[in-house]
A = this chain, B = another copy of it.
């Protein structure tokens, strides 16, 4: 089973419960990266009671399905953001977290050619850009 088939299989067995819908709705309501605990808290404020473990589980499912992107803060905490489904990278403000999705063939080509040059196959990559956004300047 390829990873795509597996993802589809998992997705197809997902029931659209109140909790999952609430998490997905919450994810749609902000544009920066937030931790599972942040999202759990946000849900609480909105009056949507969802268990913390369920928030973690749902975010994992969404991440596996590629519907959210996951990053790690400097101290290792996982943070999540709803993202477009096509391959892209992130330009993140170090101060306020404002995030822009960026893409371009340049890096894609560069990483492939570097990997090929060293005989590495089955290549993937992770790239994030950090800076201070115009509003935080």
Residues of A within 8 A of B (CB): 72, 76-78, 91, 93-94, 100, 102, 104, 106-107, 110-111, 114-115, 118-134, 137
Told that A91-B115, A107-B110, A126-B127 touch, could you supply 7 new A-B pairs with CB distance under 8 A?
A93-B120, A102-B114, A107-B107, A118-B133, A120-B131, A125-B129, A126-B128
Q: Which residues of B contact A127 (CB under 8 A)?
A: 107, 111, 125-128
Partner of A104, one of B110, B121, B137: B110
Question: Roughly how many angstroms separate A119 CA and B129 CA in the complex, as a whole number?
Answer: 13
Chain B min CB distance to A127 (Å): 4
Chain B min CB distance to A36 (Å): 12
